[in-house]
Amino acid sequence: MIKLKGQYARLSDAVLKKSAFSENRDRTLTYLNLLDCDRMLYNFRMTFGTENKCEPLGGWEEPKGLLRGHSTGHFLSALALAYSATGEAVYKEKMDYMVSELRKMQLMCKGKASDFVCKGDADHPEEELWSTNPSEWGEGFLSAYSPDQFALLEKFTKYNKIWAPYYTLHKIVAGLIDCYTRGGNEEALDCAKGIALWIADRLAPLTDEHRTQMWSMYIAGEFGGMNESLTALYNITGEEGYLTTAKMFDNKNIFPGLSKGEDTIKNLHANQHIPQILGAIEEYMATEDDFYYNIGKNFFDIVTEHHMYAIGGVGQAEKFMNPDELALNIKEATNCETCAAYNLLKTARMLYGLNPDEVKYMDYYERAMINQILASQTPFVTEDVHNGVTYMLPIGPGAEKEYTDDYNSFTCCHGTGMENHVKYTDASFFIKDDNTLIVNQYIPAAYNGDVKVDIDTSFPFGGGKITVTGDCDMTILFRIPVWTKNPFNLPENGRYALLNHKAGATDVIEVNFNYEVRFEKTPDKLDGKTIGAVMYGPFVMVCENSYTSYLTIGKDLTPVEGEVALTGYGLKFVPMYKMHNKPYHTYFIIEE
């Protein structure tokens, strides 16, 4: 089994300090405190015929919604992350309650998964025909609807007659695994293993060709990162059956080409396929098969070099388009699904763990974390909006962000939005070995390990200091961001600055990030005109303007004293994360 070339600092050892990041985190923590566990269990209890004494959820979680239950999986993950980051008992209590209640329902299921037969078919998939008897659903089953959607997928029933049953199930499995690995809940592992055994029995009778056709179906066949979670169970338990089942989800339409560096993702649903890549990387770690590693590596390069917008997001109307056709596909409000950035960050984090010398993965992590994830939550709290997050993060001229509310607008991105803001330091510190610590992100935070690293930067400004203390010798490597020269006044070791910390010493490193204005241009032109985004240090800069055609700008942009802002052409430009409740422009016609 391949292991990461080191380990990331636990969230409990990588503590956020006060900044825009901690403000987002605190809003999410408030929301996780507020969310009613029983409401998050409503659809499960309705399906299993147990008593409900609360109101149902809205959005994609409404009681007849075909994707119901997926947000409960994200809620599990978010609680585990919140407990890991804060150590506060309230998150563990809620997590333990959720797992216990789900496990009770799972244990109601009897029989063999492969024996279950649905009464409906592709022409008649109506829920009125679905089973209501858990004793025939198969041991280990757990979902907020009966197995009928899974059986209908096997009959190639299309979206939107069904809606991604394995995707929904993956969110539940992933949440349970997080509760085990991040939250220490042993029952969650039993619950996840039960689901995995149900999947294995359900899929085993199907041929490879049948499964491949299922996974090729637009959205209906979306399975999230099921291959990742099943392989993770193998890596946790060593039981081969989980890996065998994981490989049943290998996407034979895109994996072979990606392994050879071919762009097999163009014109496909973006977030239907990004989590599958996470699964391929996990499978590489389990099997040491370079086929899987090359899938992950090549996918990342293809996406970031040919499909990525300046904020680190991808896609238009949830789809990858043709490579290098970015300007052609900028629309007012339908680019850059937040879930896609969430999963691309996971991809970068996993690949960096295997290649800590490849700084490009952490360059991407910084870009997307600051310009999409930090920008995806509104700071304006109301009675029913405590963790308002974006679905799409618009980049079209005159677009405006839209946010979810607490209970009535559950979407996939509302689910990942419960996780995003409680794990900002998840990739900040990487312990390469007993003698080397790598500092990769410069958001205000403190690492409390064998040495202590205090990052006291004045985010979003480019100055501050980093203090290192500790009673052991340690090599500290500081990533030099791609957008600046060495800001640390330390010797360079490739793309890192090098500090040799000695036991008992206190090292104070002055940090001076030099922000310069640059344009990040799309590879294609629009009606013969150059289109680009304004970058200032790590920030994508946007300007308030409701005009729905492109504005034209040039090089004459001037920094504003005392602010992270630019002015020029009668406009004021601020970082994307500061723009809320106003129409704005992200891309411009650039004067050549």
Tokens of 449: 């390990």
**CATH domain 429-459+463-512 topology:** Maltose phosphorylase, domain 3 (2.60.420)
pLDDT for the residue 5: 87
Residue 1 has pLDDT above 80, yes or no: no
Q: Once rounded to an integer, what is the mean pLDDT over residues 64-89?
A: 98
Q: Of the given ranges (1-5, 177-181, 250-254, 293-297), which has the lowest mean pLDDT?
A: 1-5
| Cα–Cα distance, 20 to 83 (Å, whole number) | 21
User: What pLDDT, in 10s, does the model give residues 198-207?
Assistant: 999 999 999 9
User: What pLDDT, in 10s, does the model give residues 498-509?
Assistant: 999 999 999 999
pLDDT for the residue 4: 84
pLDDT for the residue 416: 98
- Amino acid, res. 103: R
pTM of the full predicted structure? 0.98
pLDDT for the residue 278: 98
- Amino acid, res. 60: W
Of all helices (H) and strands (E), which one includes residue 523? strand 517-526
Nearest-CA neighbor of 7 among 560, 368, 591, 428?
A: 428
Q: Can you say whether the dihedral through the CA atoms of 91, 11, 143, 161 is positive or negative?
A: positive
Residue 592 has pLDDT above 90, yes or no: no
Q: Once rounded to an integer, what is the mean pLDDT over residues 289-299?
A: 98
Residue 3 has pLDDT above 80, yes or no: no
pLDDT for the residue 154: 98
Name beta bridge partners: 16.
445
pLDDT for the residue 451: 97
Percent of the chain with pLDDT over 70: 100
pLDDT for the residue 371: 98
DSSP labels, 187-213: HHHHHHHHHHHHHHHHHTTS-HHHHHH
| Cα–Cα distance, 421 to 435 (Å, whole number) | 30
Domain boundaries along the sequence of the chain: 35-88+99-249, 429-459+463-512, 517-590
pLDDT for the residue 434: 82
pLDDT for the residue 386: 98
Half-sphere exposure of 293 (CA within 13 A, CB side): 16
pLDDT for the residue 174: 98
User: What pLDDT, in 10s, does the model give residues 26-76?
Assistant: 999 999 999 999 999 999 999 999 999 999 999 999 999 999 999 999 999
Question: What rounded mean pLDDT belongs to the chain?
Answer: 97
Q: Once rounded to an integer, what is the mean pLDDT over residues 555-564?
A: 96
pLDDT for the residue 479: 98
Q: How far is CA 351 from the centre of its chain?
A: 14
Residue 228 has pLDDT above 90, yes or no: yes
Instruction: Tell which wins on pLDDT, 106 or 332.
Output: 106
pLDDT for the residue 232: 98
